[in-house]
Structure 1
Amino acid sequence: MLDGIKETDYFYFVHSYVVKKSPAAAALTDYGGKFVSVIEKGNIFA
């Protein structure tokens, strides 16, 4: 899911809620503190 995405690429988050860190976290974003921005578990990606 993250192939071709560079660490310096930008994304826009429309919501203001976050999920707790978990083993399913595939990516974190550091913006005013680190938060989970991609979740991957089995064939589910969000």
Structure 2
Amino acid sequence: MEKLRKYLHTDLIKVITGPRRTGKSFLAVRTLKENFGYVKF
């Protein structure tokens, strides 16, 4: 979490990728809060 938090305040777009059911959405909701968008392909 500490490594992730240091990148949150940059202007870069953040993308969370990984296999199914590994907690990607949980991680995004927990860390990004109101700046969170979800795209399902």
What TM-score bracket applies, with the shorter chain setting the length?
A: under 0.3
TM-score w.r.t. the length of structure 1 is 0.27
* Higher strand fraction (1 or 2): 1
Larger Rg: 1
TM-score w.r.t. the length of structure 2 is 0.27
